[in-house]
Protein backbone atom coordinates (compact mmCIF):
# COMPACT_ATOMS: atom_id res chain seq x y z
CA UNK A 1 0.00 0.00 0.00
CA UNK A 2 1.33 3.40 -0.88
CA UNK A 3 1.32 6.03 1.81
CA UNK A 4 0.52 9.67 1.15
CA UNK A 5 3.52 12.02 1.17
CA UNK A 6 4.16 13.80 4.42
CA UNK A 7 3.16 17.41 4.71
CA UNK A 8 5.67 19.55 6.62
CA UNK A 9 4.53 20.81 10.00
CA UNK A 10 4.39 24.57 10.22
CA UNK A 11 2.17 27.45 11.24
CA UNK A 12 -1.45 26.41 11.02
CA UNK A 13 -0.58 22.73 10.53
CA UNK A 14 -1.03 20.02 13.13
CA UNK A 15 1.63 17.36 13.36
CA UNK A 16 0.32 14.50 11.26
CA UNK A 17 1.31 10.90 12.10
CA UNK A 18 4.41 9.68 10.27
CA UNK A 19 2.65 6.87 8.38
CA UNK A 20 -1.12 6.81 8.31
CA UNK A 21 -2.62 3.39 7.57
CA UNK A 22 -6.30 2.81 6.96
CA UNK A 23 -6.96 0.65 10.02
CA UNK A 24 -5.33 3.12 12.38
CA UNK A 25 -6.26 6.49 10.89
CA UNK A 26 -8.92 7.25 13.50
CA UNK A 27 -6.69 6.28 16.44
CA UNK A 28 -3.76 8.30 15.15
CA UNK A 29 -5.92 11.32 14.40
CA UNK A 30 -7.48 11.04 17.87
CA UNK A 31 -4.02 10.99 19.51
CA UNK A 32 -2.87 13.94 17.42
CA UNK A 33 -6.00 15.95 18.25
CA UNK A 34 -5.61 15.21 21.97
CA UNK A 35 -2.02 16.43 21.79
CA UNK A 36 -3.12 19.53 19.89
CA UNK A 37 -5.70 20.35 22.58
CA UNK A 38 -3.19 19.64 25.34
CA UNK A 39 -0.46 21.68 23.67
CA UNK A 40 -2.74 24.63 22.94
CA UNK A 41 -2.62 24.28 19.14
CA UNK A 42 -6.41 23.94 19.31
CA UNK A 43 -7.50 26.77 21.58
CA UNK A 44 -10.44 26.84 24.03
CA UNK A 45 -13.40 28.75 22.65
CA UNK A 46 -12.33 28.35 19.02
CA UNK A 47 -14.56 26.46 16.57
CA UNK A 48 -12.93 23.95 14.22
CA UNK A 49 -14.53 22.11 11.32
CA UNK A 50 -13.82 18.48 10.50
CA UNK A 51 -13.08 19.19 6.80
CA UNK A 52 -10.55 21.90 7.71
CA UNK A 53 -8.83 19.69 10.27
CA UNK A 54 -8.90 16.77 7.84
CA UNK A 55 -7.11 18.93 5.30
CA UNK A 56 -4.38 19.68 7.82
CA UNK A 57 -3.88 15.96 8.40
CA UNK A 58 -4.19 14.96 4.76
CA UNK A 59 -7.15 12.68 5.58
CA UNK A 60 -10.88 12.84 4.94
CA UNK A 61 -13.24 14.55 7.36
CA UNK A 62 -14.67 11.21 8.53
CA UNK A 63 -11.87 10.08 10.91
CA UNK A 64 -11.67 13.64 12.23
CA UNK A 65 -15.41 13.64 13.02
CA UNK A 66 -15.08 10.24 14.71
CA UNK A 67 -12.13 11.45 16.78
CA UNK A 68 -13.95 14.65 17.73
CA UNK A 69 -16.98 12.62 18.79
CA UNK A 70 -14.70 10.73 21.17
CA UNK A 71 -13.23 13.96 22.50
CA UNK A 72 -16.77 15.27 23.00
CA UNK A 73 -17.61 12.15 25.04
CA UNK A 74 -14.51 12.88 27.13
CA UNK A 75 -15.62 16.47 27.70
CA UNK A 76 -12.76 18.09 25.77
CA UNK A 77 -14.86 19.57 22.96
CA UNK A 78 -18.46 20.57 22.33
CA UNK A 79 -20.34 19.54 19.18
CA UNK A 80 -21.90 22.46 17.30
CA UNK A 81 -24.38 21.08 14.72
CA UNK A 82 -23.59 22.24 11.18
CA UNK A 83 -20.60 24.25 12.42
CA UNK A 84 -18.01 21.93 13.88
CA UNK A 85 -16.48 21.54 17.31
CA UNK A 86 -15.58 24.03 20.02
CA UNK A 87 -12.68 23.28 22.35
CA UNK A 88 -13.87 23.57 25.94
CA UNK A 89 -11.95 25.06 28.84
CA UNK A 90 -12.34 22.80 31.89
CA UNK A 91 -13.81 24.40 35.00
CA UNK A 92 -11.96 24.59 38.31
CA UNK A 93 -14.13 21.76 39.62
CA UNK A 94 -13.37 19.66 36.52
CA UNK A 95 -9.65 20.16 37.04
CA UNK A 96 -9.83 19.26 40.74
CA UNK A 97 -11.82 16.11 40.02
CA UNK A 98 -9.51 15.07 37.18
CA UNK A 99 -6.47 15.58 39.41
CA UNK A 100 -8.07 13.37 42.06
CA UNK A 101 -8.85 10.61 39.56
CA UNK A 102 -5.34 10.75 38.12
CA UNK A 103 -3.88 10.47 41.62
CA UNK A 104 -6.08 7.44 42.36
CA UNK A 105 -4.62 5.74 39.27
CA UNK A 106 -1.00 6.82 39.47
CA UNK A 107 -0.14 6.79 43.19
CA UNK A 108 -0.51 2.98 43.47
CA UNK A 109 1.56 2.66 40.30
CA UNK A 110 4.37 4.72 41.87
CA UNK A 111 4.48 2.43 44.90
CA UNK A 112 4.70 -0.63 42.65
CA UNK A 113 7.40 0.88 40.45
CA UNK A 114 9.53 2.04 43.38
CA UNK A 115 9.54 -1.48 44.76
CA UNK A 116 10.28 -3.38 41.59
CA UNK A 117 12.22 -1.55 38.89
CA UNK A 118 15.98 -1.92 38.36
CA UNK A 119 18.11 1.25 38.64
CA UNK A 120 18.82 1.46 34.90
CA UNK A 121 15.13 2.10 34.20
CA UNK A 122 15.28 5.26 36.30
CA UNK A 123 18.28 6.42 34.27
CA UNK A 124 16.20 6.12 31.09
CA UNK A 125 13.26 7.95 32.67
CA UNK A 126 15.59 10.68 33.92
CA UNK A 127 16.69 11.34 30.33
CA UNK A 128 13.06 11.97 29.38
CA UNK A 129 12.46 14.48 32.17
CA UNK A 130 13.17 17.37 29.80
CA UNK A 131 9.89 16.78 27.94
CA UNK A 132 6.75 16.96 30.09
CA UNK A 133 4.37 14.95 27.89
CA UNK A 134 6.96 12.32 26.96
CA UNK A 135 7.96 11.94 30.61
CA UNK A 136 4.42 11.30 31.84
CA UNK A 137 3.73 8.82 29.05
CA UNK A 138 6.98 6.95 29.71
CA UNK A 139 6.30 6.84 33.45
CA UNK A 140 2.89 5.22 32.98
CA UNK A 141 4.26 2.91 30.27
CA UNK A 142 6.56 1.38 32.89
CA UNK A 143 3.43 -0.33 34.24
CA UNK A 144 3.34 -2.52 31.15
CA UNK A 145 -0.44 -2.00 31.10
CA UNK A 146 -1.61 -0.64 27.73
CA UNK A 147 -5.08 0.16 29.03
CA UNK A 148 -3.64 2.20 31.88
CA UNK A 149 -1.46 4.09 29.39
CA UNK A 150 -4.54 4.85 27.28
CA UNK A 151 -6.75 5.93 30.18
CA UNK A 152 -4.00 8.00 31.81
CA UNK A 153 -3.33 9.73 28.49
CA UNK A 154 -7.01 10.55 28.03
CA UNK A 155 -7.26 11.97 31.55
CA UNK A 156 -4.13 14.06 31.07
CA UNK A 157 -5.49 15.42 27.80
CA UNK A 158 -8.72 16.41 29.52
CA UNK A 159 -6.90 18.01 32.44
CA UNK A 160 -4.54 19.95 30.14
CA UNK A 161 -2.02 20.55 32.94
CA UNK A 162 0.67 23.19 32.42
CA UNK A 163 4.14 21.80 31.90
CA UNK A 164 5.87 21.35 35.23
CA UNK A 165 9.46 22.51 35.79
CA UNK A 166 11.94 19.86 34.72
CA UNK A 167 13.46 19.94 38.21
CA UNK A 168 10.20 18.67 39.72
CA UNK A 169 10.00 15.77 37.26
CA UNK A 170 13.61 14.95 38.08
CA UNK A 171 12.75 15.10 41.79
CA UNK A 172 10.09 12.45 41.16
CA UNK A 173 12.60 10.19 39.41
CA UNK A 174 15.16 10.69 42.20
CA UNK A 175 12.62 9.82 44.89
CA UNK A 176 11.53 6.68 43.03
CA UNK A 177 15.12 5.59 42.41
CA UNK A 178 15.82 6.01 46.13
CA UNK A 179 12.73 3.99 47.02
CA UNK A 180 11.28 6.98 48.88
CA UNK A 181 7.63 6.43 48.01
CA UNK A 182 6.36 9.12 50.38
CA UNK A 183 8.47 11.80 48.67
CA UNK A 184 7.58 10.44 45.22
CA UNK A 185 3.88 10.57 46.04
CA UNK A 186 4.16 14.14 47.32
CA UNK A 187 5.90 15.27 44.12
CA UNK A 188 3.41 13.41 41.93
CA UNK A 189 0.45 15.02 43.68
CA UNK A 190 2.11 18.39 43.17
CA UNK A 191 2.56 17.66 39.45
CA UNK A 192 -1.07 16.56 39.13
CA UNK A 193 -2.44 19.47 41.12
CA UNK A 194 -4.00 16.99 43.55
CA UNK A 195 -4.31 17.63 47.29
CA UNK A 196 -1.52 16.35 49.49
CA UNK A 197 -2.21 13.09 51.28
CA UNK A 198 -3.42 13.74 54.82
CA UNK A 199 -1.16 12.28 57.54
The CATH number given to whatever domain includes residue 78 is 1.10.10.10
* 22-31: average pLDDT: 78
Q: Contact 134/128 with Cβ under 8 angstroms?
A: yes
The Cα 157–Cα 39 span in angstroms is 9
Under the banding of pLDDT at 50, 70 and 90, the label for residue 47 is: very high
- My answer on whether 105 and 119 are in the same domain is yes
What average pLDDT does the structure give for the chain?
83
**In-domain check, residue 11:** no
- My answer on whether 106 and 176 are in the same domain is yes
pLDDT tens readout for residues 94-146: 889 999 999 999 999 998 888 878 878 888 888 888 888 889 899 999 999 99
- Predicted local distance difference test score (pLDDT) of residue 48: 94
- My answer on whether 82 and 104 are in the same domain is no
* Whether pTM exceeds 0.85: no
- My answer on whether 168 and 76 are in the same domain is no
Under the banding of pLDDT at 50, 70 and 90, the label for residue 56 is: confident
Number of Cα atoms under 13 Å in the Cβ half of residue 164? 21
- Predicted local distance difference test score (pLDDT) of residue 14: 56
Under the banding of pLDDT at 50, 70 and 90, the label for residue 8 is: very low
* Boundary of a domain, candidates 87, 116, 133: 87
Number of domains forming the structure of the chain: 2
* Boundary of a domain, candidates 41, 60, 87: 87
Q: Which domain holds residue 138?
A: 92-192
- My answer on whether 44 and 125 are in the same domain is no
One DSSP character per residue, the chain reads ---PPPPPP-TT-----SS--GGGHHHHHHHHHHHHHHHTSS-TT-EE-HHHHHHHHTS-HHHHHHHHHHHHHTTSEEEETTTEEEEPPPPHHHHHHHHHHHHHHHHHHHHHHHHH--HHHHHHHHHGGGSHHHHHHHHHHTT--HHHHHHHHHHHHHH-PPPPPHHHHHHHHHHHHTT-HHHHHHHHHHHHTPPPPP-
- My answer on whether 152 and 106 are in the same domain is yes
133 vs 81, which has greater pLDDT?
81
198 vs 153, which has greater pLDDT?
153
Greatest Cα pair distance, the chain, in angstroms, is 59
Q: Out of 15-24, 104-113, 130-139, 172-181, pick the least confident.
A: 15-24
- My answer on whether 100 and 51 are in the same domain is no
- Predicted local distance difference test score (pLDDT) of residue 170: 93
Amino acid sequence: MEHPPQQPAGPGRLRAPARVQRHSVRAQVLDALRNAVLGGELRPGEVYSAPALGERFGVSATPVREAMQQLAAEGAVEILPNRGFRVLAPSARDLAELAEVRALLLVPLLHRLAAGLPPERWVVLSRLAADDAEFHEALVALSGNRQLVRVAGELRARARPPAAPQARRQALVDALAAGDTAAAEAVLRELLGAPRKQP
